[in-house]
Copies of this chain bind each other. A is one copy, B any other.
Amino acid sequence: MATVVILGAGMMGSALALPLVDRGHEVRLVGTHLDRAIIEHLKATGEHPKMKLPLPGAIRPMQHEQLDEALVGADAVALGVNSQGVGWAIEHLRPFAASRWPIFLITKGLHRVDDHLLTFPDLVSAELGVHAAAIGGPCIAGELARRVETCVVLTGRHRPTLTALAAMLRGPYYHVFPSEDVVGVEACAALKNAYAMGIAFALGIHERKGGAAGSVAMHNYESAVFAQASWEMGQIAQALGGEARSAAWLPGVGDLDVTTNGGRTGRFGKLLGQGLPVPEAIARMEGATLECLDILATLRAGLPAYERRGLLRLADLPLLQHLWEVALDGLPVAMPFSRFFGGEH
Protein backbone atom coordinates (compact mmCIF):
# COMPACT_ATOMS: atom_id res chain seq x y z
CA MET A 1 0.00 0.00 0.00
CA ALA A 2 1.14 3.54 -0.75
CA THR A 3 1.37 6.80 1.13
CA VAL A 4 -0.27 9.67 -0.74
CA VAL A 5 -0.08 13.35 0.14
CA ILE A 6 -2.98 15.46 -1.11
CA LEU A 7 -2.16 19.16 -1.12
CA GLY A 8 -5.37 21.17 -1.01
CA ALA A 9 -8.31 20.28 1.22
CA GLY A 10 -11.14 21.80 -0.80
CA MET A 11 -13.97 19.67 -2.15
CA MET A 12 -12.09 17.82 -4.88
CA GLY A 13 -8.84 17.24 -3.00
CA SER A 14 -10.73 15.88 -0.02
CA ALA A 15 -13.03 13.71 -2.16
CA LEU A 16 -10.04 12.07 -3.83
CA ALA A 17 -8.97 10.80 -0.42
CA LEU A 18 -11.98 8.47 -0.29
CA PRO A 19 -11.09 5.98 -3.04
CA LEU A 20 -7.48 6.05 -1.79
CA VAL A 21 -8.21 5.15 1.83
CA ASP A 22 -10.87 2.67 0.71
CA ARG A 23 -8.07 0.92 -1.20
CA GLY A 24 -6.02 0.81 1.98
CA HIS A 25 -3.57 3.59 1.14
CA GLU A 26 -2.37 6.05 3.75
CA VAL A 27 -3.61 9.56 2.97
CA ARG A 28 -2.25 12.81 4.39
CA LEU A 29 -4.63 15.64 3.52
CA VAL A 30 -2.64 18.88 3.72
CA GLY A 31 -4.58 22.15 3.54
CA THR A 32 -3.24 25.24 1.83
CA HIS A 33 -3.15 28.62 3.62
CA LEU A 34 -6.75 29.06 2.41
CA ASP A 35 -7.87 25.76 3.95
CA ARG A 36 -6.85 26.47 7.55
CA ALA A 37 -10.40 26.47 8.89
CA ILE A 38 -11.27 23.30 6.99
CA ILE A 39 -8.33 21.41 8.49
CA GLU A 40 -9.10 22.70 11.99
CA HIS A 41 -12.72 21.63 11.63
CA LEU A 42 -11.68 18.22 10.30
CA LYS A 43 -9.30 17.72 13.20
CA ALA A 44 -11.89 18.79 15.76
CA THR A 45 -14.97 17.02 14.40
CA GLY A 46 -13.91 14.59 11.66
CA GLU A 47 -16.41 16.29 9.34
CA HIS A 48 -15.53 18.23 6.18
CA PRO A 49 -17.31 21.56 6.59
CA LYS A 50 -17.76 22.28 2.85
CA MET A 51 -18.74 18.74 1.94
CA LYS A 52 -20.91 18.41 5.08
CA LEU A 53 -19.77 14.83 5.37
CA PRO A 54 -17.70 12.92 7.95
CA LEU A 55 -14.46 11.68 6.39
CA PRO A 56 -12.97 8.27 7.28
CA GLY A 57 -10.60 8.44 10.23
CA ALA A 58 -7.80 6.98 8.11
CA ILE A 59 -7.49 10.36 6.35
CA ARG A 60 -5.01 12.46 8.32
CA PRO A 61 -5.72 16.22 8.11
CA MET A 62 -2.63 18.46 8.36
CA GLN A 63 -1.91 22.20 8.07
CA HIS A 64 0.50 23.31 5.33
CA GLU A 65 3.17 24.19 7.89
CA GLN A 66 3.43 20.40 8.36
CA LEU A 67 4.05 19.80 4.65
CA ASP A 68 7.65 18.64 5.18
CA GLU A 69 6.48 16.13 7.77
CA ALA A 70 3.65 14.99 5.47
CA LEU A 71 6.04 14.37 2.59
CA VAL A 72 8.27 11.98 4.55
CA GLY A 73 7.90 8.58 2.94
CA ALA A 74 5.35 9.78 0.38
CA ASP A 75 4.91 7.62 -2.72
CA ALA A 76 2.88 10.17 -4.66
CA VAL A 77 1.63 13.75 -4.33
CA ALA A 78 -1.76 14.96 -5.53
CA LEU A 79 -2.42 18.66 -6.16
CA GLY A 80 -5.94 19.60 -5.21
CA VAL A 81 -5.50 23.37 -5.31
CA ASN A 82 -7.58 25.51 -7.66
CA SER A 83 -6.11 26.89 -10.88
CA GLN A 84 -4.90 30.06 -9.16
CA GLY A 85 -3.09 28.01 -6.53
CA VAL A 86 -0.84 25.99 -8.83
CA GLY A 87 2.01 28.52 -8.59
CA TRP A 88 1.73 28.51 -4.79
CA ALA A 89 1.86 24.70 -4.77
CA ILE A 90 4.89 24.60 -7.06
CA GLU A 91 6.80 26.98 -4.76
CA HIS A 92 5.91 24.96 -1.67
CA LEU A 93 6.93 21.66 -3.28
CA ARG A 94 10.14 22.95 -4.92
CA PRO A 95 12.34 22.44 -1.82
CA PHE A 96 11.37 18.75 -1.80
CA ALA A 97 11.49 18.13 -5.55
CA ALA A 98 14.61 15.99 -5.32
CA SER A 99 12.37 13.26 -3.87
CA ARG A 100 10.91 12.87 -7.38
CA TRP A 101 7.58 11.37 -6.28
CA PRO A 102 5.10 11.33 -9.13
CA ILE A 103 2.74 14.30 -8.92
CA PHE A 104 -0.77 14.29 -10.27
CA LEU A 105 -3.11 17.25 -10.48
CA ILE A 106 -6.86 17.40 -10.12
CA THR A 107 -6.68 21.12 -10.85
CA LYS A 108 -8.16 22.04 -14.22
CA GLY A 109 -7.09 24.97 -16.34
CA LEU A 110 -4.58 26.29 -18.84
CA HIS A 111 -1.62 28.52 -18.09
CA ARG A 112 -0.64 31.22 -20.58
CA VAL A 113 3.04 31.99 -21.13
CA ASP A 114 3.36 34.66 -23.82
CA ASP A 115 1.99 33.15 -27.02
CA HIS A 116 1.52 29.65 -25.62
CA LEU A 117 -1.13 27.92 -23.54
CA LEU A 118 0.44 25.30 -21.28
CA THR A 119 -1.26 22.47 -19.42
CA PHE A 120 -0.72 22.31 -15.68
CA PRO A 121 0.97 18.88 -15.74
CA ASP A 122 3.43 20.14 -18.35
CA LEU A 123 4.05 23.25 -16.25
CA VAL A 124 4.64 21.20 -13.09
CA SER A 125 6.88 18.72 -14.96
CA ALA A 126 9.01 21.60 -16.24
CA GLU A 127 9.18 23.44 -12.92
CA LEU A 128 9.81 20.47 -10.63
CA GLY A 129 11.54 17.97 -12.94
CA VAL A 130 9.03 15.21 -12.23
CA HIS A 131 6.68 13.09 -14.34
CA ALA A 132 3.49 15.00 -13.64
CA ALA A 133 0.10 13.58 -14.53
CA ALA A 134 -3.44 14.94 -14.21
CA ILE A 135 -6.96 13.66 -13.75
CA GLY A 136 -9.65 14.75 -16.19
CA GLY A 137 -13.18 13.67 -16.92
CA PRO A 138 -16.53 13.97 -15.17
CA CYS A 139 -16.32 13.98 -11.38
CA ILE A 140 -18.45 15.92 -8.95
CA ALA A 141 -16.53 15.88 -5.67
CA GLY A 142 -19.58 15.46 -3.46
CA GLU A 143 -20.54 12.35 -5.42
CA LEU A 144 -17.09 10.76 -5.34
CA ALA A 145 -16.97 11.38 -1.57
CA ARG A 146 -20.27 9.46 -1.34
CA ARG A 147 -18.77 6.61 -3.40
CA VAL A 148 -20.93 7.16 -6.49
CA GLU A 149 -19.41 5.23 -9.41
CA THR A 150 -17.13 7.55 -11.32
CA CYS A 151 -15.02 7.22 -14.49
CA VAL A 152 -12.01 9.52 -14.94
CA VAL A 153 -9.04 9.88 -17.28
CA LEU A 154 -5.50 9.93 -15.97
CA THR A 155 -3.25 11.69 -18.43
CA GLY A 156 0.52 12.03 -18.57
CA ARG A 157 3.44 11.73 -20.98
CA HIS A 158 5.30 8.93 -19.16
CA ARG A 159 3.47 5.62 -19.60
CA PRO A 160 5.12 3.75 -16.65
CA THR A 161 4.14 6.56 -14.26
CA LEU A 162 0.60 6.52 -15.65
CA THR A 163 0.32 2.78 -15.23
CA ALA A 164 1.59 2.90 -11.64
CA LEU A 165 -0.65 5.80 -10.63
CA ALA A 166 -3.72 4.28 -12.28
CA ALA A 167 -3.12 0.98 -10.45
CA MET A 168 -2.82 2.91 -7.18
CA LEU A 169 -5.97 5.01 -7.75
CA ARG A 170 -8.56 2.70 -9.24
CA GLY A 171 -11.01 0.80 -7.11
CA PRO A 172 -14.52 -0.64 -7.14
CA TYR A 173 -16.27 2.72 -7.64
CA TYR A 174 -13.41 4.82 -9.05
CA HIS A 175 -12.58 3.79 -12.62
CA VAL A 176 -9.37 5.20 -14.06
CA PHE A 177 -8.59 5.21 -17.80
CA PRO A 178 -5.07 6.29 -18.85
CA SER A 179 -4.43 8.57 -21.84
CA GLU A 180 -1.15 9.98 -23.12
CA ASP A 181 -2.91 12.88 -24.84
CA VAL A 182 -2.02 15.39 -22.12
CA VAL A 183 -2.83 18.45 -24.21
CA GLY A 184 -6.15 17.15 -25.53
CA VAL A 185 -7.38 15.94 -22.14
CA GLU A 186 -6.27 19.05 -20.30
CA ALA A 187 -7.60 21.44 -22.93
CA CYS A 188 -11.01 19.79 -22.68
CA ALA A 189 -10.86 19.76 -18.88
CA ALA A 190 -10.32 23.51 -18.89
CA LEU A 191 -12.65 24.39 -21.77
CA LYS A 192 -15.64 22.52 -20.45
CA ASN A 193 -16.06 25.10 -17.70
CA ALA A 194 -16.47 27.87 -20.26
CA TYR A 195 -18.78 25.90 -22.51
CA ALA A 196 -20.97 24.56 -19.71
CA MET A 197 -21.73 28.17 -18.84
CA GLY A 198 -23.08 28.70 -22.37
CA ILE A 199 -25.11 25.51 -22.38
CA ALA A 200 -26.85 26.71 -19.23
CA PHE A 201 -27.99 29.94 -20.91
CA ALA A 202 -30.98 27.98 -22.27
CA LEU A 203 -32.43 27.29 -18.84
CA GLY A 204 -32.06 30.94 -17.85
CA ILE A 205 -33.74 32.18 -21.02
CA HIS A 206 -36.52 29.67 -20.50
CA GLU A 207 -37.14 30.95 -16.97
CA ARG A 208 -36.93 34.58 -18.06
CA LYS A 209 -39.70 33.86 -20.55
CA GLY A 210 -41.82 32.53 -17.72
CA GLY A 211 -41.45 28.85 -18.49
CA ALA A 212 -41.50 26.12 -15.90
CA ALA A 213 -39.07 23.23 -15.91
CA GLY A 214 -40.36 20.23 -17.79
CA SER A 215 -40.33 18.55 -21.15
CA VAL A 216 -40.61 21.83 -23.09
CA ALA A 217 -37.72 23.78 -21.63
CA MET A 218 -35.46 24.90 -24.47
CA HIS A 219 -33.67 21.56 -24.60
CA ASN A 220 -33.33 22.02 -28.39
CA TYR A 221 -31.37 25.24 -27.78
CA GLU A 222 -29.32 23.64 -25.02
CA SER A 223 -28.37 20.54 -26.99
CA ALA A 224 -27.38 22.53 -30.08
CA VAL A 225 -24.99 24.54 -27.90
CA PHE A 226 -23.75 21.28 -26.36
CA ALA A 227 -22.97 19.87 -29.82
CA GLN A 228 -21.23 23.07 -30.92
CA ALA A 229 -19.20 23.03 -27.70
CA SER A 230 -18.04 19.50 -28.51
CA TRP A 231 -17.15 20.62 -32.04
CA GLU A 232 -15.15 23.64 -30.82
CA MET A 233 -13.39 21.74 -28.01
CA GLY A 234 -12.04 19.27 -30.58
CA GLN A 235 -10.69 22.09 -32.73
CA ILE A 236 -9.01 23.88 -29.84
CA ALA A 237 -7.54 20.65 -28.46
CA GLN A 238 -6.00 20.01 -31.87
CA ALA A 239 -4.72 23.56 -32.32
CA LEU A 240 -2.93 23.33 -28.97
CA GLY A 241 -1.20 20.12 -30.09
CA GLY A 242 -3.59 17.52 -28.71
CA GLU A 243 -6.04 15.11 -30.28
CA ALA A 244 -9.53 16.23 -31.33
CA ARG A 245 -10.96 12.88 -30.33
CA SER A 246 -10.35 13.59 -26.65
CA ALA A 247 -13.39 15.87 -26.95
CA ALA A 248 -15.54 12.85 -27.86
CA TRP A 249 -15.28 10.86 -24.62
CA LEU A 250 -14.76 11.40 -20.88
CA PRO A 251 -12.55 14.52 -21.01
CA GLY A 252 -14.83 16.36 -23.45
CA VAL A 253 -18.50 15.47 -23.67
CA GLY A 254 -18.44 13.45 -20.44
CA ASP A 255 -17.13 16.34 -18.36
CA LEU A 256 -19.32 18.81 -20.25
CA ASP A 257 -22.38 16.77 -19.36
CA VAL A 258 -21.58 16.60 -15.66
CA THR A 259 -20.63 20.26 -15.43
CA THR A 260 -23.84 21.33 -17.09
CA ASN A 261 -26.02 19.14 -14.89
CA GLY A 262 -24.31 19.31 -11.57
CA GLY A 263 -21.96 22.21 -11.18
CA ARG A 264 -21.84 25.83 -10.10
CA THR A 265 -20.79 26.82 -13.62
CA GLY A 266 -24.24 25.76 -14.82
CA ARG A 267 -25.92 27.86 -12.12
CA PHE A 268 -23.83 30.86 -13.17
CA GLY A 269 -24.68 30.41 -16.86
CA LYS A 270 -28.35 30.17 -16.00
CA LEU A 271 -28.19 33.54 -14.23
CA LEU A 272 -26.59 35.11 -17.32
CA GLY A 273 -29.28 33.52 -19.49
CA GLN A 274 -31.91 35.10 -17.24
CA GLY A 275 -30.41 38.44 -18.24
CA LEU A 276 -28.59 39.35 -15.04
CA PRO A 277 -25.60 41.68 -15.53
CA VAL A 278 -22.31 39.83 -15.01
CA PRO A 279 -21.38 41.54 -11.69
CA GLU A 280 -24.78 40.72 -10.24
CA ALA A 281 -24.57 37.10 -11.42
CA ILE A 282 -21.13 36.85 -9.78
CA ALA A 283 -22.52 38.30 -6.56
CA ARG A 284 -25.33 35.76 -6.55
CA MET A 285 -22.73 32.95 -6.63
CA GLU A 286 -21.64 33.96 -3.10
CA GLY A 287 -17.93 33.62 -3.57
CA ALA A 288 -17.93 30.31 -5.46
CA THR A 289 -14.82 29.92 -7.62
CA LEU A 290 -15.83 30.64 -11.23
CA GLU A 291 -13.15 28.85 -13.26
CA CYS A 292 -15.20 29.64 -16.38
CA LEU A 293 -14.27 33.34 -16.20
CA ASP A 294 -10.57 32.57 -15.73
CA ILE A 295 -10.42 30.18 -18.66
CA LEU A 296 -12.39 32.53 -20.92
CA ALA A 297 -9.93 35.34 -20.21
CA THR A 298 -6.95 33.02 -20.71
CA LEU A 299 -8.29 31.79 -24.05
CA ARG A 300 -9.06 35.30 -25.27
CA ALA A 301 -5.51 36.35 -24.49
CA GLY A 302 -3.88 33.20 -25.81
CA LEU A 303 -5.81 31.94 -28.84
CA PRO A 304 -5.11 34.81 -31.29
CA ALA A 305 -1.46 33.70 -31.40
CA TYR A 306 -2.62 30.24 -32.49
CA GLU A 307 -4.64 31.85 -35.28
CA ARG A 308 -1.57 33.85 -36.35
CA ARG A 309 0.41 30.61 -36.50
CA GLY A 310 -2.29 29.10 -38.74
CA LEU A 311 -3.38 26.49 -36.20
CA LEU A 312 -7.03 27.54 -35.95
CA ARG A 313 -9.49 30.16 -37.16
CA LEU A 314 -11.35 32.15 -34.52
CA ALA A 315 -14.22 32.44 -37.02
CA ASP A 316 -14.68 28.68 -36.58
CA LEU A 317 -15.33 29.26 -32.87
CA PRO A 318 -18.50 31.40 -32.90
CA LEU A 319 -19.73 29.98 -29.60
CA LEU A 320 -16.52 30.75 -27.76
CA GLN A 321 -16.50 34.25 -29.19
CA HIS A 322 -20.05 34.79 -27.99
CA LEU A 323 -19.13 33.52 -24.51
CA TRP A 324 -16.36 36.16 -24.46
CA GLU A 325 -18.89 38.84 -25.43
CA VAL A 326 -21.38 37.79 -22.76
CA ALA A 327 -19.11 36.96 -19.82
CA LEU A 328 -16.21 39.35 -20.42
CA ASP A 329 -17.87 42.28 -22.25
CA GLY A 330 -21.33 42.16 -20.66
CA LEU A 331 -23.24 41.89 -23.95
CA PRO A 332 -26.67 40.21 -23.88
CA VAL A 333 -27.04 36.55 -24.87
CA ALA A 334 -27.84 36.19 -28.60
CA MET A 335 -26.62 32.74 -29.66
CA PRO A 336 -25.09 32.78 -33.18
CA PHE A 337 -26.68 29.48 -34.27
CA SER A 338 -26.44 30.17 -37.98
CA ARG A 339 -22.64 30.37 -37.67
CA PHE A 340 -22.38 27.04 -35.84
CA PHE A 341 -20.76 23.94 -37.41
CA GLY A 342 -18.96 25.85 -40.14
CA GLY A 343 -22.05 27.91 -40.95
CA GLU A 344 -25.46 27.21 -42.50
CA HIS A 345 -24.97 26.81 -46.23
Q: Show the binding face of A for B, using Cβ within 8 Å.
A: 137-140, 142-144, 146, 148-151, 166, 170, 175-178, 215-224, 226-228, 230-231, 234, 247-250, 252-255, 257-258, 261-263, 335, 337-338, 340-342, 344-345
Closest CB-CB distance, A52 to chain B, in whole Å? Answer: 10
**Interface of chain A, helix or strand or loop or mixed?**
helix
Determine which residue in A140, A166, A223 has the highest number of CB atoms from chain B within 10 A of its CB, and name it.
A223
Instruction: Evaluate whether A218 and B143 lie within 8 angstroms (CB atoms) in the complex, with A138-B223, A177-B340, A224-B151 already known.
Output: yes
Which of B148, B335, B342 contacts A220 (CB under 8 A)? B148
Residues of B within 8 A of A342 (CB): 177
A151-B341 Cα distance, complex, nearest whole Å: 10
Instruction: Evaluate whether A254 and B226 lie within 8 angstroms (CB atoms) in the complex, with A220-B150, A221-B149 already known.
Output: yes
Residues of B within 8 A of A247 (CB): 248
Residues of B within 8 A of A341 (CB): 151, 177, 249-250
Instruction: Evaluate whether A177 and B230 lie within 8 angstroms (CB atoms) in the complex, with A139-B220, A222-B258 already known.
Output: no
Closest CB-CB distance, A338 to chain B, in whole Å? Answer: 6
Question: A140 touching B254 by the CB < 8 A rule?
Answer: no
Question: B344 touching A176 by the CB < 8 A rule?
Answer: yes
Residues of B within 8 A of A250 (CB): 224, 227, 341
Determine which residue in A139, A230, A231 has the highest number of CB atoms from chain B within 10 A of its CB, and name it.
A230
Question: B138 touching A216 by the CB < 8 A rule?
Answer: no
A224-B218 Cα distance, complex, nearest whole Å: 24
Residues of B within 8 A of A249 (CB): 227-228, 230-231, 341
